Chains A and B, each alone.
Chain A
Amino acid sequence: DAGVIQSPRHEVTEMGQEVTLRCKPISGHNSLFWYRQTMMRGLELLIYFNNNVPIDDSGMPEDRFSAKMPNASFSTLKIQPSEPRDSAVYFCASSLDSGSFVGTDTQYFGPGTRLTVL
């Protein structure tokens, strides 16, 4: 399997522009996670999908951030409008959920998208 695929790997944009990050989870996995990694705050969970349904979006910073999962093989994280403080590495991860929402299932991470907002 190719693993979790993210695109683009690098994104440089100007403040105020819309940014869309994409993720393809591992085939057969039914849980998908979006994380953000910054020097100041470390790794933070932004949103969690199970069977394409958002289960927990409490980590989404504000309304400028939105995430969708239209089908089992694709998810997007959108920032509109983007701001310099959104600069970070964004990771997507997927797992095969056992169905009980417990943390025993291994999460497989993609290579990340490094976002720079000027």
Chain B
Amino acid sequence: AQSVTQLDSQVPVFEEAPVELRCNYSSSVSVYLFWYVQYPNQGLQLLLKYLSGSTLVKGINGFEAEFNKSQTSFHLRKPSVHISDTAEYFCAVTKDSSYKLIFGSGTRLLVRP
């Protein structure tokens, strides 16, 4: 069965510092990978997705992620975070490349001034 592991439940970081949120998945077949962000009391919003092609994917709000097939990872990065980036971030993979999203447990990014 496919699964998604987000190793860090919370990542504190100072404003303007770089950040990396880790995501590993387990799958024996090709997958589609996603990062979603959830701001407090709001629904999830797509940051970026990897379907095929270039392994470096750029998303909204200055975020990017790199697909690494050999390490089965899809880590999310931002070179300089803002206070407004404080939110919960979810990595997700589609099950057997179907519509069914399997979500990780989430990583809470806490940006401090």
Cβ–Cβ contact B103 & A42, under 8 A: yes
Cβ–Cβ contact A31 & B42, under 8 A: no
Among the 9-residue stretches B63-71, B78-86, B90-98, the one with 4 or more Cβ atoms under 8 Å from chain A is B90-98
Cβ–Cβ contact B43 & A103, under 8 A: no
- A42 to B3: give the CA distance in the assembly, Å: 12
**Smallest beta-carbon distance B37→chain A, Å:** 11
- A43 to B36: give the CA distance in the assembly, Å: 12
Tell me the nearest residue of chain A to B31, going by C-beta. A103
A-B contact count (CB 8 A): 57
Cβ–Cβ contact A4 & B100, under 8 A: no
Question: Across the interface, which residues of A come within 8 angstroms of B44, CB to CB?
Answer: 43, 91, 93, 109
Partner pick for B43 among A31, A95, A102, A109, CB 8 A cutoff: A109
- A105 to B34: give the CA distance in the assembly, Å: 11
Partner pick for A106 among B49, B90, B104, B105, CB 8 A cutoff: B49
**Smallest beta-carbon distance B103→chain A, Å:** 4
Tell me the nearest residue of chain B to A50, going by C-beta. B99
Question: Across the interface, which residues of B come within 8 angstroms of A107, CB to CB?
Answer: 46, 101
- A97 to B104: give the CA distance in the assembly, Å: 23
**How many residues of chain A are within 8 Å of chain B by beta carbon?**
24
> Counting CB contacts under 8 A, is B56 at the interface?
no
Cβ–Cβ contact A103 & B103, under 8 A: no
Cβ–Cβ contact B103 & A91, under 8 A: no
Contact with A along B34-48 (1 / 0, CB 8 A): 001000011111100
| Contact status of A48 and B99, CB under 8 A, knowing A42-B104, A103-B32 | yes
Tell me the nearest residue of chain B to A31, going by C-beta. B99
> Counting CB contacts under 8 A, is B11 at the interface?
no
Partner pick for B98 among A4, A42, A102, CB 8 A cutoff: A102
Interface residues of B (CB under 8 A from A): 32, 36, 41-46, 49, 51, 90, 94-95, 97-101, 103-106
Q: Other than the known A102-B94, A102-B99, A106-B46, what 11 A-B pairs have Cβ atoms closer than 8 Å?
A: A31-B99, A43-B44, A43-B90, A48-B99, A95-B99, A102-B97, A102-B98, A104-B49, A104-B51, A107-B101, A109-B45
